[in-house]
Amino acid sequence: MEAGGGRRVVAVGAGLAGLAAAQRLAGAGSLRVLEAAPRAGGRVCTRPFASGLAELGAHWIHGPSPENAAFRLAAGYGLLGAAAAEEENQRAEARGRPPPPCVTYGGSGRALSPGAVDEARRLFEALLASACAFAGAGAAEPPLPSVGQFLRAEIARRAPALGGDEEARRLLLAVLAACLKLECCISGCHSMDLVALRPFGEYVCLPGRDCTFPGGYSSLPDRMLSELPEGTVLLNKAVRTIRWQGSFREEGGEDRDFPVRVECEDGDAFLADHVIVTVPLGFLKKHHRDFFQPPLPEEKAEAIRRLGFGTNNKIFLEFEQPFWEPQQQFLKVVWEDESPLEEPSTDLEANWFKKLIGFVVLEPPEQHGHVLCGFIAGKESEYMETLSDTEVLNTMTDMLRTVTGKATYPCRPGSSRETCTAYLDPTQSPCPQGTRNCPLPGACSGPSGTAHPTPGAPTPTWPSAARGLISTRWLSPCPRTPRTPGLCSSSLLARPPTEPSTPPPTGPCCRAGEKPSASTSSCGAPLLASETGK
């Protein structure tokens, strides 16, 4: 027997669940936590980005009040800011609070009327409240199986009574479509048709204004890990098979049988009385048949098969200077040609970015720099994962310039902020790449014969572009065609062919195979994050 008569326990996974189990069981026997990754924390993952930190996984504590276990832990460790500890913030009700200061842009390149947006938001919140009414034993039978079907039916029923002219009704429907996308991000799904209506109202919103960790969310699992006895958590220790309902004995050990043997990929094995499995649902869906020997009971296997989960991704964009107003905390995006009553486009290649709900402004800028964090869910989010950072950056640049009508550029991949003044329109800068360190003419990586242009308006014939459009993708210091974007390329909005049709004046041409000069500089790439927690 173990010292003190305790039992042997193995926990698989060192995310917050595994660490919490280890905390609870510490001192009650022998305990090991096996983690496949080189770090603890699981879906909590903080990384340096720009001037501060980026939360690749969980971001906020929603409902930071005494009822919230995460809040109690973080507050007990002193990891939260002073505002989060104020009783007024802890008592603030989640429902009915005014939204954070925001601006809503339309695909037409203009800020939408706050009054029209608020009207649609209030209607959507009323519809959500109706969708929550079917939870509980005594609730009425849901008229439809999913939240999405119910919301669309209610919108269709109320649509004829919506006030205003036809343009106002189209705008209201477009904002409702954007609200549905936001709800998809909150629920972590591709479509609200995948969310069952009856249990939808079971989710409880705890009081308290959402808060973040000044030192990053990873400070919470780091602190939990530091309190465990040394050697409790073993990193880089991937588990291959859990053999349970057996009778295992250690070679040369005491005369004792254990019902569990946990076998690792590196050949190590751990005998235990109990095993706690905290691995992600996606892993279980793919591996549970081989991961457990004997296989799990059918009812547990069926639960694994039937439980759903989706993909949430974040996009972090740093700007040298903000194009948004200081008080704005959320930049929303609405596409005026969309409606919840119409089938969304299935052309992911052309329209994936339209699933983006908008961007949260990371605050304070003194800590994070000028950084926007975008959120996108579902199949569009999964499609985005197939693209390169450069492709995502180009698309975000185009989209932001489209909806804001401003010549705004995120920083480019590859260099430090010290060498970046943000993307500048090449027609307004002596350096096409808009950086402080301008390479000498001719020092470029463009194809043979590509010229280094002097400042001038882009034209339909320079560089090559689709018929009727002007595409100005630049690879510092020379432009490249849209078919061959480089790691430092950016995109300006396509312009109508109303400008002069002759190429701008050019400087020396690049020779085939010529490399960029050592003084070429660019900026930080967008940081992409797959989020399974908020």
pLDDT tens-digit readout, 386-436: 999 999 999 999 999 999 988 766 765 443 333 322 333 333 333 333 333
pLDDT at 529: 45
Mean pLDDT of 354-367: 92
Half-sphere exposure of 97 (CA within 13 A, CB side): 16
Residues contacting 499, CB < 8 A, separation 6+:
457, 458, 459, 460, 470
pLDDT at 412: 53
pLDDT at 228: 95
Mean pLDDT of 168-178: 95
pLDDT at 3: 40
Radius of gyration of the chain from Cα atoms? 27
Q: Whole-angstrom Cα distance, residue 6 to residue 3? A: 6
Q: Whole-angstrom Cα distance, residue 373 to residue 360? A: 5
Residue 335: other Cβ atoms inside 10 A: 17
Of 90-104, 105-119, 265-279, the poorest mean pLDDT is in: 90-104
CA distances 91 to 150, 206, 210, 213, 267, Å, are 32, 9, 11, 19, 51
Mean pLDDT of 141-153: 96
More confident residue, 169 or 479: 169
Read off the DSSP letter of residue 200: G
pLDDT at 89: 87
Mean pLDDT, the chain, whole residue set: 78
Mean pLDDT of 77-84: 92
pLDDT at 161: 83
What phi and psi values does residue 370 have, to the nearest 5 degrees? -95, 90
Q: Whole-angstrom Cα distance, residue 327 to residue 239? A: 48
pLDDT at 367: 85
Q: Whole-angstrom Cα distance, residue 36 to residue 330? A: 36
Q: Is the pLDDT of residue 290 over 60?
A: yes
Half-sphere exposure of 388 (CA within 13 A, CB side): 9
pLDDT at 516: 31
pLDDT tens-digit readout, 38-64: 999 999 999 999 889 999 999 999 999
pLDDT at 87: 87
More confident residue, 256 or 226: 226
pLDDT at 245: 92
- Are 244 and 270 in contact by the 8 Å Cβ rule? The answer is no
> Which of 95-104, 128-137, 232-241, 248-257 is most confident?
232-241
pLDDT at 137: 78
Band of the pLDDT at 96, cuts 50, 70, 90? low
pLDDT at 263: 97
